[in-house]
Amino acid sequence: MPQILDGKKVRDSILAEMKPRVERLAEAARPPGLAVVLVGHDPGSEIYVRNKVKACQELGIYSEKITPPDTITTDELLALIAALNARPEIDGILVQMPLPKQVDAHRVLLAIAPDKDVDGFHPFNVGNLVANAPGPRPCTPAGIVEMLRRSEIKVAGKKAVIIGRSDIVGKPMALLLLHQNATVTICHSKTANLADECRRADILVAAMGRPAFVTAEFIGEGAVVIDVGINRVTDPEQAARILRGDSTRTGDFHRKGNLLVGDVHPLDTGNSSAFTPVPGGVGPLTIAMLMVNAVELAERHILGRTG
């Protein structure tokens, strides 16, 4: 039976390690400060932000939620970011995506001071990632690296294949694994013979946002499968194709009206040696690593640490 990689357990371990660091900062000067900017009322974004604020409260991190209306202009949001950049008690700034169409998201992300870029998306911090220099790392890929390390899954010398080339997951994931001495291949929508490429992987990371796309033919014997996707399926026919007559899950679908599924087919993980479930796998790690970034940025600001 494949090992189930429990993201909640890893998350709890990471957060437990952060708590004394937060307490030391509070004793030395003040707790870390995180500002979260949530524009408008997107239901998914509101849930994510609520969970982030809750994690801050549980750790003792000062959090401030700023909720401008969805009519805000780019210039107004840039002025808000500039004000947060100037506040010394704010160590990290997070602008929840997506932003309304009239807002230039690229300009907004560039406006966040690199030493307050808690998401690790600013080009300055992307450069630090490329150079393997200290700096905040994108939270989801960093969480996956922590899961592999804490699960004692060897990365050095292994073949890693990543499906997806986004700036948020695919590209930084490739760089982090490369820094761990894996041999890395990035696959995408134009990759020829995609299943063949994936079967060569010792570590397969699925991050393309397509429900149940990765099936058994993509997974080599004994591979470690990391499923980054989280997709909500509401179409009964699509759900039936995915569930293949699984009566328990089919009953759950009809009761809830939706099916939560990753990019890896939930019934096709048998070839793997270990895999992340959806939900409960990669998802819990993203907020945990956001807290890590916030604490590390505060340590730089308060204690002058650079490593």
The predicted pLDDT at position 5 comes to 98
The predicted pLDDT at position 246 comes to 87
Residue 279 and residue 199 in one domain: yes
Residue 99 and residue 158 in one domain: no
The answer to the question of residue 191 being in a domain is yes
Residue 113 and residue 148 in one domain: no
The predicted pLDDT at position 94 comes to 96
Residue 215 and residue 278 in one domain: yes
The answer to the question of residue 19 being in a domain is no
Alpha carbon separation from 240 to 212, 229, 234, 271 (Å, rounded): 12, 19, 11, 23
Sheet architecture: strand order including 224-227: 3-4, 274-275, 224-227, 203-206, 159-163, 183-187
The answer to the question of residue 15 being in a domain is no
Number of separate domains in the chain: 2
The predicted pLDDT at position 307 comes to 59
- Determine the structural domain holding residue 55 and report its residue range: 24-118
The predicted pLDDT at position 306 comes to 64
Residue 41 and residue 162 in one domain: no
Give CA–CA dist 172/287, Å, rounded: 17
Residue 182 and residue 143 in one domain: yes
Assign residue 74 the CATH number of its domain. 3.40.50.10860
The predicted pLDDT at position 34 comes to 98
pTM of the complete model: 0.95
Residue 41 and residue 71 in one domain: yes
Give CA–CA dist 166/97, Å, rounded: 14
The answer to the question of residue 59 being in a domain is yes
The answer to the question of residue 86 being in a domain is yes
Please, what are the averages of pLDDT over each run of 10 residues along the chain (307 residues)?
96 97 97 96 85 95 96 98 98 95 96 98 97 97 98 98 97 98 97 97 97 97 97 94 90 91 95 96 96 98 80
Sequence-distant (≥ 6) Cβ neighbours of residue 74 within 8 angstroms: 102, 103, 104, 107, 108
Enzyme catalytic residues: 52, 96, 119
User: Beta strand pairing status for 183-187 and 159-163?
Assistant: parallel
Residue 84 and residue 159 in one domain: no
